[in-house]
Structures are given as C-alpha cells and as structure tokens.
Amino acid sequence: MPGHDDPATGVAAGRRASRGADPRWVVPGVAVAGALITVAAGAAAWTLDRRNEASLLRVQTRQAAAVLTAQVAAIREPLAASLQIELATGGDTGQFVRALEAVTGTRQLFVSAGLLDTTAGPPRAAAWVGAAPELDPGSDAGRAFVAKALHSKTFVVTSPGQGRVDRVAYAIADPKDPRFVVYAERAIPANRLVAVESNPAFTDLDFATYLGPVISMPALATTDLPLSRLPLSGDTARADIAFGDTSITLVAQARRPLGGTLGSRLPWIAIAVGGALTIASTFTARRLVQGRRTAERDAVTISELYDRLDDAFVGQRTIAETLQRALLPRTNPTIAGMRIASRYVAGAAGVDIGGDWYSVIVVDDRRVGFVVGDVSGRGVSAAAVMARLRFTIRAYLLEGHPPHTVLQMCAPQIDILQDGHLATVLVGVIDLSTRVVTVANAGHPEPLIITDGRGTYLPTALGPPLGTGADHTYTQVQVEVPARSLLLAFTDGLIERRGEHLEAGQQRLADVASTAAAADNIEDGLTQILTQLTNDYCEDDIAVLALSW
C-alpha cells in the first residue's frame, strides 16, 4: 500500500490527495472499505469452516462405512462356510449344527439358522439352530426368498417382518449346485445401535442406517435418534455399503463441530476485529478531515492511516495461523511414565494455511501411537487434505492396525492428480512395556533418537509419499530404544534451508538436539532446539513432536 513500502512516496501521494480529493468523501469511503473488508473476511472464514466441516464429516462417514463393510463380511463368512461344508458332505446335518451353533442364539451373531434341502421340490428344513424363524421358509414369501437365493451369485437379504426392520433374513446358495440353502436371521439390537454407533471414534456423529437404497421409515434399521428427528436433514453425509443383493444406506450428521469450536467462531472473530478496525479507521479519517489542512501534516497523518489500514490486511495471516492451530490437537494426552512436547511454527512466507500436523494417540494401556505429516502446498485444499489424513490415521490406529497397514489403507484416499497434493507421513507405535518403537514411513524425514547425549537417525524403510499411487506397499521397522532416550519427529521445515544439502541440516539438528536433550524439562529442551534452528524466522511451516518414556 502507499506509504508502507516507501514513506517518501506515501507522503507525496498524501499531498496530492489533499489537493485533489474532496474531503467530504474520505470518511464514508473509509467506512465502506472497512465494512467490505470485514464482510469479506467473515465470509471467507465462514466458507472455510463449512468446507472443513463438510470434508471431516465425509471422511468420518467413509470410515464408519468401512467398519460396517467389515461387519458385513463377518456375517457372510459363517453362512458361506456352512454351505460349503454341506455341499462337501452331502447334507451332514451334524456338521451344519456344529458349524453354526457357536454363532447362533441369544446375543450371538444370528438368532436363528437353518439348513434347507431343495433336492425334493419345495424347500424342507433339514436342520435348525436357535429360535424359530420369523419368515417361514415354507410360506409363499419364504419359497420366493429361497428361490431368489438359488439364482443369486451372492447372499440375498430381506426384512421378514412388517413395518420397521426388527430382524434381517439372509439366504445363501450355490447356483451351480442348488441342493441346499443356508438360511439365517439376525436381530436388530433392542437399543437399535450397531457397533459403529457406539464406537468411541464416532461419538461426534449421529447415525441412521436403512436396509436398501431408499431412505424411508419402513427401511430404517438402526439409529440412536428419536423418530421425530428422522430423516436427518441439513448438513449430512451418505455412504452406500454393498450388502448381499442389496445395500445398506448410512446417513450421518455431526452433533458438534468436528474441527473444534474455534472454527465456527472465526467468522464472528473476523467481523468483530474488522468492525473495530473500521470504526477506528473511520474515526481517524474524520479527525484528519477536521484537522489542519497543511500539506505536510496531511501527508504525515494520511501515512499513519495507511499504516493502520495495513494492519487489517496483516490480520489475514493471524486468522490463517489461528485456523491452522485449530486443526491441530489442542493438548497432548497425559500418559504415565511418558513425557510429550509438541510445537507448530508457521512459516514466514505467505498468509495461507499450511498442511503440517502431528498427533499422539493412546491406542491402549500399553501402546501409544504418534504421527507427523506434511501435505504439499498451502491453502484451504491443503488444510482439508491434512485434516482428512489426520482423522483417518487416528481412526485406523485406534482400530489396532500396525503402522505399515495404516499407510496402505490411507494410500487410496489421496491422489495428486485429483487433489493437487501429496503428503509425507511418519506413523509409529510405541510399546511402553518393552520400549520397542514400530515405524512406517511414507517419504518423510527419519526421526532422531537422542541417547546419552548422542543423536542418531532411526533407519526406516522409506516408502513413497501418499498421493503418488494407491497400490503402494509399505514396510515397518522395529527398534528397541534405550531407557531415558528422546525421540524427535519433525517436518522438513526444521532442517531444510535454501541452497544447502539436506545432510547439513540433519547434522545441525543432531548437534543442537543432543545438547538440548539434557534439559530437565522436555518443553525447555524443545524450545532450545527451535530457538537455535529458526532464529525466530523460518520459510516453511514446522511441526515437531518430542517423546520420552
């Protein structure tokens, strides 16, 4: 802006403005400009928050759909296995009963299961386990359902009752060998909740599932909501899960902001700050118009006003940094016998939000997971990819998957040709009882381990970054870390310098960290590292995670 980059030019411009501009329009012009900037900042913050919330909702809905898909496989396997046993044994009902009685009964996978013999015309019950079926295989509806199974390449599904779905009936047969049909019924839980709805990873979501592709009350299967709230409206996400010859429709809605409350407050913060700046700028302009008209004083005063208006634009960077920190964990978990410190330092270049992040996840009483990642590029799209990966990796670690499996499961979720970004990610799991660290690496800088004042980089099986292909495989390594050691995981902004070899930056970090690791407090040690390596200035964003146990 004039007067900011070159004071002499600003003074001259101010003098020309004092002679050529009509002072009656200065105050309204400043007020209108401030109002437009305020509205634009508030709208941008609101749009960014809505996009982020919608993206997080879609990610968690897909994760919930993945859990349901696994449950569908768990339902099909015992039915398919028992059918193969009967076809192989020629109808040994004893084998059938032994195969299904372990999963049939009260609070079991099925409440009722039966073997139907179709070799002599209409289906005949050759063996039965559990309660009586709600759908009689000998009825017209039952015979039609069995006939459908005899011509289907997968298992067939129906709701045997009237009204809302209380049981789900399954039938499976081999069209090439139609001697037997395995029939089973599964009860919808009394509380109408399935595992995904009570999973701690999805406590921020409301769910409703429907049998089939149509969202209607007769098709409703499970939900934790009162019927008066159905069907869900407003901001929702939907996923369709293959379910035999039909599908399960999963509809989800956020109970509270998934990205934290700060994101929803940012528009009001932007409006409040912009309004205050607009009022201050308007008042200052009014004083200038009423003040002395001399060319020198006008030039100096207008230059000061330009500086104040410049601060409003600098506020854009502050909002971007605030939103970035809102997407990162507010606090690290407290874990007995473990010290954790973390920092995020915004880069000096540009005002866009970045894609660096870190996470610490308590997997169970014995294992702790950690993640450090860096999404290429900057802006809203980079932040959306970062948030998607952060919550996806967290969910997969909580499900108990090892690091290399987590990376392989995440690989299809980002594609540089579609998203315009790729990501380097380091995923690790620490066994607190054995001090064994298991690490998988997708193109990320290797972590540094400080032991007895000496720093060494943990050798990892370096795999390709996420986003470069969905068919990549990753290899994990295991290292036993000596007691009282410090593990430092970071993004490349900490060690990379323009025009310098990467090895020089790695050595510089190892030297500084070896000294800082002797600090009594892990937070103080991390502060020493950042102070000596950044000198209060860094071109790229930096995310650092320090762990000691």
Mean per-residue pLDDT, 152-179: 86
* DSSP sequence for 81-141: HHHHHHHHHTS-HHHHHHHHGGGBSTTSSBSEEEEEE-TTSS-EEEEEEESPPSS-TTSHH
The H or E element spanning position 123 is none
Q: What is the rounded radius of gyration, in angstroms, for the C-alpha atoms of the chain?
A: 31
Q: How confident is the model at residue 476, as a pLDDT? A: 97
Contacts of 107 (CB under 8 A, 6+ apart): none
pLDDT at site 3 = 41
Confidence at residue 373, expressed as pLDDT on a 0 to 100 scale: 96
pLDDT at position 381: 86
**What share of the chain has pLDDT > 70, as a percent?**
84
CA distance 135 to 137: 6
pLDDT tens column, 181-234: 999 998 887 666 666 666 777 778 888 888 888 988 888 888 878 888 888 888
Is residue 327 over pLDDT 50?
Answer: yes
Rounded Cα–Cα distance for residues 441 and 457 (Å): 13
Residue 329 has pLDDT above 70, yes or no: yes
Q: For residue 304, give both structure tokens.
A: 């000061």
Report pLDDT for 24. 65
Distances in whole angstroms, Cα of residue 187 to Cα of each of 98, 115, 127, 152, 195: 21, 19, 20, 23, 14
Residues 214 and 164: their CA atoms lie apart, in Å, by 13
The pLDDT of residue 10 is: 44
pLDDT tens figures, 99-153: 888 899 888 889 999 999 888 778 888 899 999 898 888 888 888 989 999 889 8
Q: What is the largest CA-CA distance in the chain?
A: 111
Q: Bridge partners of 117? A: 124, 180
What are the phi and psi torsion angles at 354 (to 5°)?
-105, -175
Query: Residue 73 is encoded by which pair of tokens?
Result: 């496989």
* Alpha carbon 149 to chain centroid, angstroms: 39
- Tokens found for residue 417: 């040709």
Bridge partners of residue 423, in order along the sequence: 375, 466
What is the per-residue pLDDT for 289? 67
Phi-psi region of 358 (alpha: psi -120 to 50; beta: other; left: phi over 0): beta
pLDDT confidence of residue 322: 57
- Which residues partner with 130 through β-bridges? 112
SS3 429: strand
- Per-residue H/E/C for 138-203: CCHHHHHHHHHHHCCCCCEEECCCCCCCCEEEEEEECCCCCCEEEEEEEECCCCCCCHHHHCHHHC
Q: What is the pLDDT of residues 354-387, one digit of tens each?
A: 789 999 999 999 999 999 999 998 888 888 899 9
Token pair for residue 475? 């290899």
For residues 57 and 59, give the distance between their C-alpha atoms in angstroms, rounded to a whole number. Answer: 5
252 has a pLDDT exceeding 50: yes
Instruction: Give how far Cα 331 sits from Cα of 327, 362, 390, 454, 488, Å.
Output: 12, 13, 15, 29, 18
CB 3 within 8 A of CB 306: yes
Question: Span 503-508, mean pLDDT?
Answer: 94
pLDDT band at 459 (very low <50, low <70, confident <90, very high): very high
Rounded Cα distance between 197 and 184, Å, is: 24
pLDDT of 439 reads 98
Phi (first) and psi of residue 66, to 5 degrees: -65, -40
Residue 340 identity (one-letter amino acid): I
* pLDDT given at position 391: 92
Q: What are the boundaries of each domain within the chain?
A: 7-52+259-323, 332-548
State yes or no: pLDDT of 423 exceeds 90: yes
CB 72 within 8 A of CB 160: no
* CA atoms lying within 13 Å on the CB side of residue 503: 0
Vertex 5: Cα angle to 3 and 6 (nearest 5): 65
Half-sphere exposure of residue 267, counting CA atoms within 13 Å on the CB side? 12
Confidence category of residue 96, pLDDT binned at 50, 70, 90: confident
Report residue 68 as tokens: 């349901």
pLDDT band for position 309 (50/70/90)?
A: low
- Residues 453-464, mean pLDDT to the nearest whole number: 94
Query: What's 332-548's CATH class?
Result: alpha beta
Round to whole Å and give the CA distance between 219 and 108: 23
Q: Give the 3-state DSSP-derived string for 263-292, with helices as H, strands as E and coil as C.
A: HHHHHHHHHHHHHHHHHHHHHHHHHHHHCC
Question: How confident is the model at residue 1, as a pLDDT?
Answer: 40
In the chain, the amino acid numbered 191 is: N
Q: Does the pLDDT of residue 18 top 80, yes or no?
A: no
DSSP state of 492: G
Question: b or e along 476-492 (b: 16 or more beta carbons within 10 Å of the residue's beta carbon)?
Answer: bbebebeeebbbbbbbb
